[in-house]
Amino acid sequence: MIDIKKLKISDERLKQLSRSKKQVKISWHISQNLEYQRFFNVGDVLLKVNKSTNKPVMTDDIPDRYLVARNDSGIIYCRRVTKSGDI
């Protein structure tokens, strides 16, 4: 397993590369997403949000909810919570 902390690339350099190469840009967004996901704990409830309106996605007048079931070093696994509250 690669220790991400040992990879010394500054944020400024990543931003420069992300503007020039599509693959690096995608990798940069993935790394940012992984950095964000590592703060979720098992048992946290997440809401699905529409990016354009910034409002929760509704099904049967209830927001779509997901329960964090597992967190493996920043990669989270979720289960959908049904209308009745079951997983």
The string of DSSP letters for 46-70 reads: EE-EETTTTEE-EETTEE-EEEEEE
Express each pLDDT in 28-84 by its tens digit. Answer: 777 777 777 878 888 888 888 888 888 888 888 888 888 888 888 777 888 888 777
Q: Is the pLDDT of residue 21 over 70?
A: no
Rounded Cα distance between 40 and 37, Å, is: 6
What pLDDT does residue 42 have? 87
What pLDDT does residue 3 have? 55
Q: Can you give the pTM of this predicted structure? A: 0.58
